[in-house]
Amino acid sequence: MTPQITLAEGVAGAEEAFVMRMKQARVGAWPHKIELRQSLGAGRTGPEGDAARHGHLAAYVIKTYPDYYRYFGEKEFTWNKIKQPNRNPLLTMSIGADGLKTGNIDEKSGFGIVASAVEEGRRLILAAYGARHGQGACRRGAQAAAMGLPQLRGKGAVKAGEVVGSAQVYGGAKGSVSLAAEGDVTALLQRGGSEKLSAGLSMRGR
């Protein structure tokens, strides 16, 4: 029995009842706020094997809760005189890893890893599922981090406040408004690759 099932059954008596309570509670709006619209309504774990969803959530946690995120990087802690090691082996591999989790969702998704590593101010977040065992998932994560970070370099794409386009406005005082970057945007490029950058806008409904 996974911790998710234990939590769901302990709180609501059954997984289905827990999901329903999550929908009805105020927390139900939280996944929509961070654009995880499929987190609720498809069971406790959402769509199977959705690594992109886990990577998106990892980025949100790192950015929104930096004071708490640091606990993901603790290699061990002692409680009641018992030393508890972190089960994420990437933390001991000298690849700049500082989180996040390993484990499996169910038999179909297999074992997976959601990891993050930092090198020279660049952060790489990776999420992968489908390994047959936990060691395989961790090996994939270590290889991806070791190969990804050294081959990437940052290049400024857009500065904070820079106008990058416009959007039409219906029923407003003006027919359109300018769209500007909220903060500096840096693109990660492969070392030795092209220096040319092109940017575009994608409008999504809320």
Reduce the DSSP state of residue 134 to 3 states and report it: helix
For residues 130 and 153, give the distance between their C-alpha atoms in angstroms, rounded to a whole number.
29
Give the phi and the psi of residue 86 in degrees, each rounded to 5: -70, 135
Top mean-pLDDT range of 99-103, 142-146, 201-205: 99-103
- Decide: 179 and 164 in contact? Cβ < 8 Å: yes
Residue with more model confidence, 19 or 69: 69
Token pair, residue 200, equals 């575009």
Token pair, residue 203, equals 């409008």
For residues 150 and 161, give the distance between their C-alpha atoms in angstroms, rounded to a whole number.
30
Reduce the DSSP state of residue 15 to 3 states and report it: helix
> Which run of H or of E encompasses 23?
helix 15-24
| Residue 22 CB coordination number (10 Å) | 20
What is the predicted pLDDT for the residue at 83?
92
What is the predicted pLDDT for the residue at 48?
45
DSSP state of 47: S
HSE on the CB side for 116, CA within 13 Å? 22
Residue 35 has pLDDT above 50, yes or no: yes
CA dist list (Å): 131 to 43, 100, 117, 188: 22, 17, 20, 27
Domain annotation for the chain: domains and CATH numbers? 1-46 (no CATH), 48-150 (3.40.710.10), 155-190 (no CATH)
- Decide: 199 and 155 in contact? Cβ < 8 Å: no
Mean local confidence (pLDDT), 43-50? 45
For residues 148 and 119, give the distance between their C-alpha atoms in angstroms, rounded to a whole number.
10
- Decide: 97 and 115 in contact? Cβ < 8 Å: yes
Residue 203 has pLDDT above 50, yes or no: yes
Q: How far is CA 186 from the centre of its chain?
A: 18
Residues 6+ apart with CB under 8 A from 109: 45, 48, 49, 129, 130
- Decide: 43 and 19 in contact? Cβ < 8 Å: yes
pLDDT, one tens digit per residue, over 156-186 is 788 899 888 888 888 888 889 998 888 888 7
Residue with more model confidence, 111 or 100: 100
